Amino acid sequence: MTITLISLLRDCDQKMMHPGFPRRIPNAQCPMTEKPTYPNFDNLINQTDTEMQRLGWTKAQGREHLMKYYGVRSRLLLTEDELDNFLLYLQLTDSPAQDQGGF
């Protein structure tokens, strides 16, 4: 049985529940890893970048959301399903309110 860095990271970040999505227990001892190898990774990263920009989120706000709901500081540590769920969350989130001037 071969143990990979990815499997060690996933074991390190045990899953809990997020409202409607998986959640991980934060664990500061988990190391960063290289870019995941699943085929859809680059596409999901590009789409989440676009949605975060649409929402006006900073990288710090993105990290805060990932820590709160997934227990990780980087999208590199999300599974493909978790990254897809994060993208769905961003897509379903309304863009920031525009200044309505005079209201």
Q: Which tokens go with 41?
A: 């990774």
Q: Tell me the percentage of the chain whose pLDDT exceeds 90.
A: 52
Of 4, 17, 20, 23, the closest CA to residue 71 belongs to 23
- Which residue ranges make up each domain of the chain? 7-92
**pLDDT at 26 (0 to 100):** 44
The enclosing H or E element of 15 equals strand 15-18
**In the predicted model, is pLDDT for residue 63 greater than 50?**
yes
pTM: 0.62
**In the predicted model, is pLDDT for residue 16 greater than 50?**
no
Q: What is the pLDDT of residues 22-46, one digit of tens each?
A: 555 444 445 555 788 888 999 999 9
HEC assignment per residue over 16-72? EEECCEEEECCCCCCCCCCCCCCCCHHHHHHHHHHHHHHHCCCHHHHHHHHHHHHCC
